């Protein structure tokens, strides 16, 4: 119902309600700035923002002259509901925040690949070429221990393709009982393998397995074993009375050895001494290695397959491989991650604790005048790798400590949400995964939250 149009004062003076001046929808949309926004975001998003602003104007919440500016302020930067978020959790590869942030080189590659490309065309001959050949060449050059390489759409897909191609028609997969892990969102490795036709032969106990356990399983099924599978339990650690069989010894069993290293570390890293790498695993005798591309590699979501050329070619030609094919955007971002500068994940892993502490002190000084009680404070902190990689590894870091009641305000910031963590009654904004270029946005968000 429309509000009263006029207000009558003593003495007969009549004042017109400014809401009567609410502009027409077509008048607002005719503004040149909104015409440009429609070209960038599409008509639907802009029209919805205009309708919302006009409703606010009719309700008296917004002055008629401010409608267009309000529309512009409410429009997203891109035609998606995804929000850019500053990851101040202290978890470098945060699954809920999209895992690995891409490097600037990968972002540039995505823009190039968004148009028409030679992803599957040999420009010299004009004939069809191998799909993603330059990305595959970059992956093989990075891990020369692999005789062949292939890329699918995620790590689970890589393992599923191996199982589907090698363990068809009820052939068995031998795996240690303690390596039948559950990955994210309730998905379990054994259920994944069985869903594509594998018959699992579990060996050992939850905490201990010996080479003789594998040998006994193979002896009992000499012709029906497709491969031995070793799964790195990348999201948990079993300690105490434990034993496992290293790749070097499993490689002597006489059947293909497939090793799922999980987190996608291609070469050993000094800060992650217990995290297996693809190169070292292949040198140790694995026939195939599967891994994710959007974790420690720091690239786009994809699944990596590396190993014997004949086995990789067999996987690549399997009909199921078509269902798992990656698009041109993934191939472009992966190639740029492999060939370009250090990814944000790599930069975070190699960050200096002293440098992080200096950044935290600088931010605390910049925010000393915001009136927060207690005032912002630079503190040391412990960060984690995340993404199911390097469980238990503690990374020295530094953080900005704030009152915990700012957590929700920062997380719901209308411009750039900032996600931190609550620890010992304080909100910590850990800097290990926050690029220095994002510091002005972080400071501005804290100032808005404090107000």
159: which residues sit within 8 A by CB, 6+ positions away? Answer: 189, 192, 193, 258, 260, 290, 303
Phi-psi region of 128 (alpha: psi -120 to 50; beta: other; left: phi over 0): beta
Q: How far apart are CA 451 and CA 441, in angstroms?
A: 16
Domain 104-341 has what CATH class? Answer: alpha beta
Task: Look at residue 20 in the predicted model and tell me its pLDDT.
Answer: 77
Is the pLDDT score of 15 beyond 70? no
DSSP 83-119: ---EE-SSEEE-GGGTSSPPPHHHHHHHHHHTS---T
**pLDDT over 90, % of the chain:** 79
The pairing of beta strand 172-176 with beta strand 199-203: parallel
Please state whether the peptide bond connecting residue 284 to the residue before it is cis, i.e. omega within 30 degrees of 0: no
* Confidence check: pLDDT of 1 > 70: no
Residue 5 is predicted with a pLDDT of 46
- Token output for 389: 């990689």
Question: By three-state DSSP, how is residue 149 classified?
Answer: strand
> pLDDT of 29-67, one tens digit each?
999 999 999 999 999 999 999 999 999 999 989 999 999
Determine the pLDDT at residue 239: 77
| Residue boundaries of the structural domains of the chain | 6-74, 86-97+347-450, 104-341
| pLDDT value for 329 | 97
Q: Is the pLDDT of residue 168 over 80?
A: no
The residue among 327, 328, 334, 306 whose CA lies nearest residue 161 is: 306
Supply the pLDDT for residue 2. Answer: 40
17: confidence class by pLDDT, cuts 50, 70, 90: low
Contact between 255 and 228 under an 8 Å Cβ cutoff? The reply is yes
Is the separation of the CB atoms in 402 and 373 below 8 Å? no
Three-class secondary structure of residue 294 per DSSP: coil
> 3-state DSSP: the chain helix, strand, coil percent, rounded to 5?
40, 20, 40
Q: Are the beta carbons of 110 and 135 closer than 8 angstroms?
A: no
| 29: Cα within 13 Å, side-chain hemisphere | 16
Give the containing element (helix H, strand E) for 405. Answer: none
- 219-277: pLDDT as tens digits: 988 778 999 999 988 667 777 888 899 999 999 999 999 999 988 999 999 999 989 99
What are residue 358's DSSP bridge partners? none
Cα angle at 368 between 364 and 370, to 5 degrees? 120
pTM (whole model) above 0.85: yes
Do 86-97+347-450 and 104-341 agree at the fold level?
no
Check pLDDT > 90 for residue 206.
no
Q: Which residue has the tokens 């068809």?
A: 168
Least confident segment among 300-304, 345-349, 371-375, 439-443: 371-375
Burial status of residue 195 (CB atoms within 10 A of its CB: 0-12, 13-18, 19 or more) = exposed
Nearest in space to 110 (alpha carbons), one of 407, 334, 295 = 334
3-state secondary structure (DSSP) of residue 281 = helix
Instruction: Look at phi and psi of residue 424 and say left if phi exceeds 0, alpha if psi is from -120 to 50, else beta.
Output: left
Is residue 13 very low, low, confident or very high in pLDDT (cuts 50, 70, 90)? low
Residues 272-292 pLDDT 10s: 998 999 999 999 999 999 999
| Candidate CATH numbers 3.30.1360.30, 3.90.1150.180, 3.90.1150.10, 3.30.420.40; the one for domain 86-97+347-450 | 3.90.1150.180
Judge whether residue 3 has pLDDT over 60: no
Residue where the block lists tokens 């595959």: 136
Residues whose CB falls within 8 Å of the CB of residue 156, separated by 6 or more in sequence, listed in order:
183, 187, 192, 303
Q: What is the pLDDT of residues 397-437, one digit of tens each?
A: 999 999 999 999 999 998 899 999 999 999 999 999 999 99
Pick from 387, 340, 350, 385: nearest CA to 270: 350
Instruction: Name the residue with tokens 């010894």.
Output: 249
């Amino acid at each position: 119902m429309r509000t009263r149009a006029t207000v009558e004062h003593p003495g007969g003076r009549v004042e017109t309600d400014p809401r009567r001046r609410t502009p027409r929808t077509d008048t607002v949309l005719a503004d040149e700035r909104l015409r440009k926004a429609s070209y960038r975001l599409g008509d639907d998003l802009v029209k919805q923002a205009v309708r919302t602003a006009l409703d606010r104007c009719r309700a008296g919440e917004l002055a008629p002259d401010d409608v267009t500016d309000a529309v512009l302020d409410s429009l997203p930067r891109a035609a998606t509901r995804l929000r850019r978020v500053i990851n101040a959790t202290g978890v470098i590869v945060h699954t809920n925040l999209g895992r690995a942030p891409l490097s600037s080189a990968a972002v540039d590659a995505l823009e190039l690949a968004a148009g028409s490309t030679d992803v599957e065309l040999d420009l010299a001959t004009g004939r069809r070429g191998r799909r993603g050949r330059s990305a595959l060449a970059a992956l093989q050059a990075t891990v020369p221990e692999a005789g062949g390489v292939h890329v699918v759409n995620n790590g689970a897909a890589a393992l599923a393709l191996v199982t589907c191609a090698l363990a068809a028609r009820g052939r068995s997969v031998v795996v240690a009982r303690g390596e039948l892990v559950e990955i994210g969102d309730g998905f379990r490795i054994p259920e994944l393998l069985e869903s594509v036709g594998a018959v699992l032969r579990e060996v050992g106990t939850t905490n201990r397995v010996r080479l003789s356990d594998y040998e006994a399983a193979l002896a009992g099924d000499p012709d029906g074993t497709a491969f031995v599978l070793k799964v790195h339990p990348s999201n948990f650690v079993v300690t105490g009375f434990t034993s496992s069989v290293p790749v070097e010894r499993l490689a002597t069993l006489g059947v293909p050895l497939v090793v799922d290293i999980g987190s996608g570390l291609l070469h050993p890293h000094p800060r992650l001494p217990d995290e297996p790498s693809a190169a070292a695993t292949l040198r140790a005798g694995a026939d195939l290695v599967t891994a994710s591309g959007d974790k420690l590699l720091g690239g786009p979501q994809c699944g990596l397959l590396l190993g014997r050329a004949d086995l990789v070619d067999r996987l690549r030609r399997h009909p199921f491989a078509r269902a798992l094919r990656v698009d041109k955007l993934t191939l472009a971002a992966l190639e740029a991650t492999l060939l370009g500068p250090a990814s944000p994940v790599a930069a975070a892993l190699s960050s200096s604790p002293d440098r992080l502490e200096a950044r935290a002190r600088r931010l605390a000084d910049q925010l000393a005048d915001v009136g927060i009680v207690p005032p912002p404070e630079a503190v040391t902190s412990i960060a984690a790798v995340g993404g199911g990689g390097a469980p238990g590894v503690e990374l020295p870091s530094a953080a900005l400590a704030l009152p915990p009641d700012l957590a929700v305000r920062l997380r719901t910031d209308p411009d750039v949400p900032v996600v931190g963590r609550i620890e010992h009654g304080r909100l910590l904004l850990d800097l290990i995964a926050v690029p220095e270029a994002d510091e002005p946005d972080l400071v501005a968000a804290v100032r808005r939250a404090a107000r």
